[in-house]
Structure 1
Amino acid sequence: MEPVHEKYQRLIDFCRTLPPMPTAVAHPCDRSSLEGALQAAELGLIAPLLVGPPARIRMVADECGLDLADHPIVDAPHSHAAAARAVELVREGAAEGLMKGSLHTDELMSAVVRREGGLRTKRRVSHCFIMDVPRHENALIITDAEINIAPTLADKVDILQNAIDLAHALRMPEVRVAILSAMETVNAKLPSTIEAAALCKMVDRRQITGALVDGPLALDNAIDPAAARTKKIESPVAGRANVLMVPDLEAGNMLAKSLSFLAGAVAAGIVLGARVPIILTSRADSVTTRLASCAVATMVAAKRRDDAKIMG
């Protein structure tokens, strides 16, 4: 039986009070991707537009006993075409979100970041894990462990702001970001500490807004109050971070997988910085994780709608 992840369940329950997000699902041609989209639709999280070869989608549904109900199928002959057509549906205003089906992440993201006809914005695209860690009181956002391999300082500005904006969409009452490194002091021999200090100064000058940010911080003194006290770090973030920004993809990937495989955490995922939230699911994801990823995207879309009304 799948364990109950209370933080995710609260998220899903809240999203059921929101209108379902019209979502282009690119190439849902295996059981996990099609079932995930249909389960999210059943809970009212998304309203899926199934983009791919109609005969193949129906065959998967029949083989797996899934009810396509009246969910529209948008014809696309293969996975590359499905990614391109799903992006077109967003550009046409038919979808407010994008969801990966049974195609490679690179296929979907290449259609997203295409200069002509893609979903680029002024922001760099980045990924956030929203992790439900047992025995840790609140959800943890970890960025970026999936897309930006060796981000520059300029890249990190966007990665940080994307994560802060996500935390606000998730209605975190106070966003506290720890910029992680191997140590909590600035050291010229370790470039990530220099960049962490620069990002903090950019927060001071309001080039990055919306959060309390501190760094460099080591992982222990970022999330454990006792470790922060031992190191005599006086900061509103140290020991209390709810967003962890890693120095590069390798560090982020290892951190997320360590929490998953050694601490029993689960990780919902979302891509930000494009015109719409992008749900990246994996075949290995549990049902709860897939639904939580959809719920996160729905909250991001709802926040964007609210912001647009205020701006309008």
Structure 2
Amino acid sequence: MKLLENIPYDDLTAGQEASTERLCLADDLFVFANASGNLNPLHLPHEDGDQDGLPEAQAPSAWVGALISSVLGNLLPGPGTIYESQTLHWTGLAHAGDTLVARVHLLEKLPDRRVRLRTTVSQKGGAQILHGEAVVIAPERKMTFNIDDLPTLRVQRHVHFDRILHQAEPLPAIPTAVVCPEEPNSLGGALLAHEHTIIRPILIGDRSKIAAAAAEIGADISQHEVLHTASHQEAAELACQLVHEGRAQALMKGHLHTDVLLSAVLRKDTGLRIGRRLSHIFVMDVPGLDHLLMVSDAAINIAPDLETKVDIIQNAIDLAIALGTVQPKVGVLSAVETVTPKIPSTLDAAVLSKMADRGQIRGGIVDGPLAMDNAIDIEAARTKGIKSAVAGHADILIAPNMEAGNMLAKELTFVAGAEAGGIVLGAKCPIILTSRSDDEKARLASCAIAALFAKSGVK
């Protein structure tokens, strides 16, 4: 229990001091921008507010000054204090990552419960960056407050996708067969990834429809290779041919049915099979989660059997490794975390865990069955007495079927504010699947994920 306790006016004496430390986080700058409406790019992380080529992440002066109110309102005099006046003089700057010390010193007591205090903010162990004086009305009586139930804030940032894009952009753009980019969204996503030097698109489909889509979004596609086909099926087959010829290292779905594209990929003679089941993997950047979260399979395998789940898990592990996760932790989900014969998914989960122990699934740690709560929340796992290297720390969530996986991914996206990129693995090259509802970052992330996988050499 966290308590705040004040010092009433009658108990105050000249010379009393109080201070508090605060680490200035990048998220603090976003919160202040939203709360105040001050959108000065100097104060927004990753923005170059003065065009000198470097992001400033400078703490707003008013935010620095507000740290004084935390000392006055929490410590001296504490709860019940009312501001009457405050002077502020800034002599330095603060930035995200700085630890600041706000301090107040009681100078004198005035009539009518008024108190005058010297106020300062300094870098921890360093120079003073603000000084001034405050006059406040001190509380009349002793009070104590429990602040455990204070609502928390979560900034919806997608730092993990930022990292993926940062990793992918310096790499040579991978040649990508974009199948039927015949409307603005699908063409625009491919061209956006090209602008970020992630892919080099080869546009395959009806030439007139591709040109019309380009005209609608005002894009110049004269520099891009356009291969005309008379049908979506022909476009999908030509894309597979380009992969076999080494002209393309990835496929990207445009404005055609997924079944049409995958039927060409799965053809025994001209397709892209490698002896493993195809599976779709959502790579999710969930605000507040300190790592990428993968969900599979949510788009291809409707009711996977045990053998298919082995391939689903292996595909996801391979992708996680390609994106930089060493020995990914895989949680095999069910409704409960105990093996129950009446729930077949718990039996599959237990077998899959043992198969990983015996080396039949490689590169990761697999455990299950796990319920959603104890797969991602360590306290939930401890409450239920689960001891596992995966519980509370899962990098990959394996759904029992496509319906569950799809609902989970959509809930994370539309309720928890996650960004979701997705690719299909299990073929000779990664296949980028984007949705019309994807925003720019999700489209870019899907392309970057495919590029990083293609360049990683993970098989």
Q: Is 1:40 the counterpart of 2:183 in the alignment?
A: no
Moved over 2 A (4+): none
Q: What residue number does 2:212 align with? A: 59
In structure 2, which of residues 366, 385, 392 is the aligned counterpart of residue 239 of structure 1? 392
Return the letter of the residue paired with 1:32: N
Separation in 2 of the partners of 1:43 and 1:262?
Answer: 29
In structure 2, which of residues 426, 437, 444 is the aligned counterpart of residue 291 of structure 1? 444
Comparing 264-273 with 74-83, greater Cα deviation is found at 74-83
Q: How does 1:1-312 map to 2 (within 5 A)?
A: 4-304=157-457
Tell me the SS of whatever aligns to 1:263: coil
Native 8 Å contact 2:302 2:402 kept in 1: yes
CA deviation digits over 1:137-183, x for unaligned, max 9? 21100000000000000111111100000000111134110000111
Tell me the SS of whatever aligns to 2:177: strand
Look at both structures and tell me which one has the larger radius of gyration over its CA atoms.
2
Native 8 Å contact 2:284 2:419 kept in 1: yes
Return the letter of the residue paired with 2:185: S
Return the letter of the residue paired with 2:284: M
Separation in 2 of the partners of 1:32 and 1:249?
Answer: 25
CA deviation digits over 1:262-307, x for unaligned, max 9? 1111210000000000000111110100000000000110112xx5
Tell me the SS of whatever aligns to 2:276: coil
Q: What is the TM-score of this pair, normalised by structure 2?
A: 0.65
Point out the structure with the larger helix share.
Answer: 1
Alpha-carbon RMSD: 1.2
Separation in 2 of the partners of 1:32 and 1:270?
Answer: 17
Point out the structure with the larger strand share.
Answer: 2
Separation in 2 of the partners of 1:259 and 1:141?
Answer: 11
Separation in 1 of the partners of 2:157 and 2:256?
Answer: 29
Tell me the SS of whatever aligns to 1:208: coil
Shift in Å, 1:214: 0.7
Native 8 Å contact 2:157 2:287 kept in 1: no
Give ranges in structure 1 of 5+ residues lacking alignment: none
Shift in Å, 1:44: 0.6
Native 8 Å contact 2:191 2:201 kept in 1: yes
Give ranges in structure 2 of 5+ residues lacking alignment: 1-155
> Identity of paired residues, percent?
53
Shift in Å, 1:4: 4.9
Separation in 2 of the partners of 1:240 and 1:56?
Answer: 47
Aligned residue pairs: how many? Answer: 304
Separation in 1 of the partners of 2:246 and 2:212?
Answer: 29
Return the letter of the residue paired with 1:288: K
